[in-house]
Amino acid sequence: MTRPAPLVDQFQRRITYLRLSVTDRCDLRCTYCMPERMQFLPRKDVLSLEELHELSLGFIARGIRKIRLTGGEPLVRRDMMELVQALGRTIGASGDRGGLDELTLTTNGTRLAEFADGLVEAGVRRVNVSLDTLDRDTFVRLARRDSLPQVLEGLRAARAAGLAVKLNVVALKGVNEAEIPEIIGWAHAQGHEVTLIEVMPLGEIEEDRFDHYLPLVAVREGLEQRWTLTPSAHRTGGPARYFDVAETGGRLGLITPLTNNFCDGCNRIRVTATGQLFACLGGTEQVDLRAALRGDDPQALLGDALDTAMRIKPQRHAFAITQPGAAPALSRHMSMTGG
C-alpha cells in the first residue's frame, strides 16, 4: 500500500508542523486576546478526544512531524492528558503512518504545576508558556485574573520535571515595554528561553491595539544598547528568529508578523477545536475537517480536505496595525484559531 503524499502547498512549501487547538476555553482573559465576556463554543461543536486523535494520525500519515497542542488554554480540557499520552506513543514511530519528531504545547502556565510530570512521562520535552509580565499588578491588569503565583509555581514545576521552557512575551507599548529587559534577564537566569511577539490584530477587544503596538525593531535596538545580541542559526520549526545574548548566556527569539514578514518559509497549518483547518493564521482560507471526520468515508474525505488546504494556503498574511481605531485584520479571536 502506497504511503499518502506529503503535504506540499502551491508555493512548494512542505508542511510539517501542525498547531492543533483542543479547546477555545481559557481561565484567563488577556486584554489583547479576548473580551472579558467571551462567548465560548458549545461543547457539542468541539471535536471529541477520539476525533482529535484520528485527525492527528491522519496528519502524521501525510508527513506532519511536529504537533503543538494549543487552546485557548489546553490544560483546562478535562481529557487533555489522554490525547497527550496517545500522541506521545507516536514519537519516533515508523511504518505506514510514520511518527512525530516532537510533541509539545503552549500554555498560560496556570495549571502547569499539576501536569508537568505527566507531560514528561508522555514524551513532551518542552513547552511554551505565555507570560507578559513578572509584576503582579500588571498581570492582573493584562489577564484580568490574579494568577501570577500559579504561573510561577508552574514554571518551577516544569523545571523540576525536566521540561525545557520558552516564555512567550507579547510586547505591549506602555504596558510591559519597560519590563522586557527584566523579564529576559530573569528568564535566562532560570534557564528559560524567551521569545518576544508583536501584538496581532485578531478579534474584537475592548482596547485599541494601535495604542499598545510595539514594533520589535525598536525593542531590539534598545536591547542592543544594553547587551550583545548575536544572530543564531537555532530554529524550532516556528517563525521566530533567534539571537544569543552574551551577557545573560541565554537565547532570545523575535516573532515579527508586522515589521518583518516571515511567511516565505511557512511550514505550518492550524486546526481549531471544531476541526476547521486554517491554512494561514492571518487568512480566511479554511477547510472543514470535522465534516470529513463525521462523513461516510472519513479517511478518503480527510485526504481530499487536506489536498484542498494545500491548494488554498496563501503565500503570506496581510497583518497591519497602521492607525487608531482600525478594525482587526480578522474577526476571529486567537483563542479560536489556536496559538
**Strand pairing partners for 202?**
330
Peptide bond into 174 cis (omega under 30): no
Distance CA 122, CA 120 (A): 5
* E-strand stretches of the chain: 17-21, 66-70, 102-107, 126-130, 164-171, 193-198, 229-231, 241-245, 250-255, 268-271, 276-278, 286-288
Tell whether 226 is in a known binding site.
no
Tell whether 43 is in a known binding site.
no
Cβ(218)–Cβ(225) under 8 Å? no
Tell whether 44 is in a known binding site.
no
Tell whether 173 is in a known binding site.
no
C-alpha grid cell for residue 314? 496563501
Tell whether 30 is in a known binding site.
yes
Tell whether 37 is in a known binding site.
no
Tell whether 241 is in a known binding site.
no
What distance lies between CA 134 and its chain's CA centroid? 21
Tell whether 269 is in a known binding site.
yes
Tell whether 32 is in a known binding site.
yes
Give the residue from 218, 201, 194, 117 showing the smallest Cα distance to 163.
Answer: 117
Tell whether 66 is in a known binding site.
no
Distance CA 172, CA 187 (A): 18
Tell whether 26 is in a known binding site.
yes
* E-strand stretches of 110-245: 126-130, 164-171, 193-198, 229-231, 241-245
Tell whether 109 is in a known binding site.
no
Tell whether 68 is in a known binding site.
yes
Tell whether 33 is in a known binding site.
yes
Tell whether 72 is in a known binding site.
yes
Please enumerate, by residue number, every residue annotated as part of a binding site for S-adenosyl-L-methionine: 32, 72, 130, 200
Please enumerate, by residue number, every residue annotated as part of a binding site: 19, 26, 30, 32-33, 68, 72, 106, 130, 166, 200, 263, 266, 268-270, 280
Please enumerate, by residue number, every residue annotated as part of a binding site for [4Fe-4S] cluster: 26, 30, 33, 263, 266, 280
Please enumerate, by residue number, every residue annotated as part of a binding site for GTP: 19, 68, 106, 166, 268-270
